[in-house]
Structures are given as structure tokens and as C-alpha cells.
Structure 1
Amino acid sequence: MKDAPTLPKFIRTRGLRFPYDPQIITRKRRRLMRDDHYEHKESEAVLRVVKADDTVIELGAGMGYMSTLLTKKLGVKTVHAFEANPRMIPYIHAVHAANGVEGVTVHNAILGAADGRAKFYVRGDFVASSLADNLEDAHGGVIAEEEIDIRNAQAVFDEISPSVLVCDIEGAEADLLPLIDLSGLRCAIVELHPQWIGQAGVQGVFDAMQAGGLTYYPRMSNAKVVTFRKGW
């Protein structure tokens, strides 16, 4: 009888370590990570436009990948990572601990027009979790409903004074970004979700960036991941 295969303790990608949890690191995600292709488009933009002295606000922290990349590969000293899914927070902290990450403040909250509370739908695949209860549930279905904090978006930006925005919030970008004065940003990297927000939503994101003095930067944009910056 063959011995059961030994499961890895960590999955490594771009020199970073992620505790192996098969519910979070699926077979497909594991393959992408081992080939350094996980979040490839967003990672390439971040690595080329973010500087060590930037203050970064990340909306949609996921499993802690981007905040770890920012601090360990670029030496960014101040990152505020917002993640709505409360079930991901312990894993994010575990990722940061595994990589000796410092300087990241993790917020279990979303941003909105005003302080409050909202219902959040946790799905089997964490990337599909969202505020929406009417999405097609091809990602494991809704496994839990959680009440989460909403923080006033403009107040958060005023308090943190970020120079860089990294945003992947599964379609909420269309409603959120037009609420915020983005003029304090040096650059922004946003993953768009046109399949959910449509042409009007995409246009709203571009309009919000233009109002903040940020211009579309095609060289560091790739498909749905779009980069904006000030100056040329």
C-alpha cells in the first residue's frame, strides 16, 4: 500500500510563502502560484509603478498576496489592506507572519458612502465572495452570511492619505471610486469587472480617475487590469 502523499506546508510564489490550505489555495491557484502567474497582470503593474516610500491603500486584500508582495519585494513601509471577508483575516495574518511582513494594517471592513453595516455573502471560493446575493453561484455557492463594517470612504482616504490605490473588489469599484476625492493619489491600479458593472460602470471608474487628475497609463495596463498615474 502506497503512503499518502505528503502535503506541502507552504506554497511558494515570487519568493513568497503561503501556508497551504486547500480550501483557499485550490489546485488551479496552486499551479498558478508555482508558475509565478498568480495575479500576474496586477503584480507586474504594482512592481513597476509602486515605490518604497508610497503609502498604499489596498481594497480587496484577498489572501494577503498583494500586501506581502508590496512589503517584501518593494520595501513599502505603510500598507492599509481592506478585506470584507472575515473568514480570510486569520489567513492573511498567517501569510504575513510566514513572510515576516511588517507595516501592513489589515482592516476587516469595506468602504462606502457612510459608516454603517452590510450583509456580506461568503462563497466557497473566496474570490467570488461579495455584497451581492444574486450572482451565479458557480464558485461553491453561498456558504455563510456575515455582517461587516462599512467605513466612510472619504474619511478613510483623508485619514490615511494614500499615494497609491490597489483595487480589486469584484465589481464594487463602479459604485465606490466615484465617491472619493482621488486627487491625493500618485497612481492607481484597478481590476475592472465589466461583466458585472457594464460599460457605464467602466466609464464611471475612468471618470473618477480623471476627476482626480489621474491619466490612463496603457503601458502598465493589461486587459481588465488598468493603471492610472499623474504626469508622464
Structure 2
Amino acid sequence: MRFPKHPDIIQGRVRKLLRTNQYEAKETEAALRVVREGDVVMELGAGIGYMSTLVATKRKIASVHSFEANPHLIPYIQTVHAANGVGNAEVTNAILGPRKGTVDFYVRDALLGSSLQVLEGEVDPPATKVDVLNMNTVMKDIKPNVLICDIEGAEADLIPQMDLSGLRAAILETHPQWIGPEGINKIFKAFMDAGLAYYHRGSQGKVVCFRTDW
């Protein structure tokens, strides 16, 4: 995969990991195990466009729909898709939630360090408003059967509220250092209640995989 140069995004550790094929290595292995031809993939937390490009170029999926809160990453993700000939990907500058609205997103000089949270010691950090879309309305419109999610701890609140019944598989990077064992249990219960089971072959460390068809 090709990732165009960008002085504020592709630098330091990110550049090294991409060069050595170690970037998002656990998520990559999980995706290659569970994503299949014809799948409709929903991605929450698009980052630099790595996972959406991966599934679109390594598997003959129907489409991938990515949602990213950081408005400054959207143009770069689109250049990554273009550089890799991806024509079945859609990226939206928004997050999903239980109801429509807006939320503050805090932008930092290191773009990949921007987030929805104010960090300890920060005073009035620069913020921009980001749309919140109704999660279940989006799910009904897109009808994904695979979910990929890396939303920096927000998964503990979002996943239990989502209608997961149409999914065949899901890949999540969890953040136990922030959500604790209670948050992890909420996530596992939500997927089990929706008929998905923990898939050990696709799971490593904080990256967990669920599927209906072993």
C-alpha cells in the first residue's frame, strides 16, 4: 500500500512502522482473517486511512464506510485511497452516537494526537465542532456486516448502544487502561447478546475479534 508523504501525519514512529510493515499489525491480521469478498465494512476511527485501504485492496469487498472525527485527516485519507486506486471507500467527518448533534474535537499540533478529550494540564485547547450522527440510523442506511472500530476508549459507551444484529464479524482495538474491566465486559456482553462469539484466532492483546461463523 502507498501512503503519500505528509509532514504532520507520516512522520517518526508512524513512518517507521509503515516502512517495516508493522503498522496496525494486529488489526491487519484480524482483518485478513475475517473480511471476505462482498462484505460491507463500517470503520469507526479511520486514522490515516490504513484499514480502509487494506480491506479495499486485499479483499474484493462491496464497500467500506469510514467515520473519522478529525477534520484535518479527511483530505489525507482521500489521497491515500486515490494513491491506492480505491474506488469503493467513503469517508465521513463525523462520529456516531445515540442521537444527532455536535461535539467539541480538540485539535493538536500532532494531528494524530487530537481527540475528543481535554488532556491533563491543557487549558482551553483549540477545538472544532464535529457532527454526531445517529448510530442506528447510519447502520440501517449502510447495512454493514463487518465492523472495524478504534475510537480511543469511546467503545465502552458506544458499542452497547448499537444495533449489532446485522454483523457477521467485528474487530475492535480496546482500551482497558481507560475503560477498565467493566468496560471490557460491557463490550463482550453486547456482542454475545447480538449472537457474535469471541474469535481467538483473530484476537491479540487489546485487539479483539468477534464473529458468528467460525
Task: State the partner residue of 1:176.
Answer: 158
Is 1:92 the equivalent of 2:74?
no
- Larger Rg belongs to: 1
Task: State the partner residue of 2:55.
Answer: 70
Alignment-mate amino acid for residue 152 of structure 1: N
Is 1:194 the equivalent of 2:176?
yes
Alignment-mate amino acid for residue 48 of structure 2: M
1:128–1:170 contact (8 Å) kept in structure 2: no
Superposed counterparts of 1:100-179, under 5 Å: 100-135=85-120, 144-179=126-161
Secondary structure of the structure 2 residue equivalent to 1:156? helix
2:147–2:170 contact (8 Å) kept in structure 1: yes
Q: Distance in 1 between matches of 2:120 and 2:65?
A: 28
Secondary structure of the structure 2 residue equivalent to 1:181? coil
Equivalent of 2:28 in 40, 43, 47? 43
Is 1:210 the equivalent of 2:195?
no
Secondary structure of the structure 2 residue equivalent to 1:169? coil
Structure 1 residue 135 displacement after superposition:
5.0
Q: Deviations over 1:79-105 (max 9, x none)?
A: 110001000001011111111111111
TM-score (norm 1): 0.88
Q: Distance in 2 between matches of 1:48 and 1:90?
A: 29
Structure 1 residue 134 displacement after superposition:
3.5
Change (3 A) 1:125 1:216: farther
Q: Distance in 2 between matches of 1:108 and 1:115?
A: 14
Q: Distance in 1 between matches of 2:51 and 2:151?
A: 13
Alignment length (residue pairs)? 214
> Structure 1: 5+ residue runs without aligned partners?
1-15
Q: Deviations over 1:147-184 (max 9, x none)?
A: 00000011111111100000000111011011111011
Structure 1 residue 77 displacement after superposition:
2.6
Structure 1 residue 125 displacement after superposition:
3.2
Q: Share of identical aligned residues, percent?
A: 53
Is 1:227 the equivalent of 2:209?
yes
2:9–2:112 contact (8 Å) kept in structure 1: no
Structure 1 residue 29 displacement after superposition:
1.1
Alignment-mate amino acid for residue 207 of structure 2: V
Structure 1 residue 142 displacement after superposition:
8.7
Structure 1 residue 124 displacement after superposition:
3.2
Q: Deviations over 1:100-155 (max 9, x none)?
A: 11111111100001000110112333333221113577xxx996311000000111
Task: State the partner residue of 1:55.
Answer: 40
Alignment-mate amino acid for residue 106 of structure 2: Y
TM-score (norm 2): 0.95
Q: Distance in 1 between matches of 2:74 and 2:157?
A: 24
Secondary structure of the structure 1 residue equivalent to 2:126? strand
Task: State the partner residue of 2:9.
Answer: 24
> Structure 2: 5+ residue runs without aligned partners?
none
1:123–1:142 contact (8 Å) kept in structure 2: no
Secondary structure of the structure 2 residue equivalent to 1:18? coil
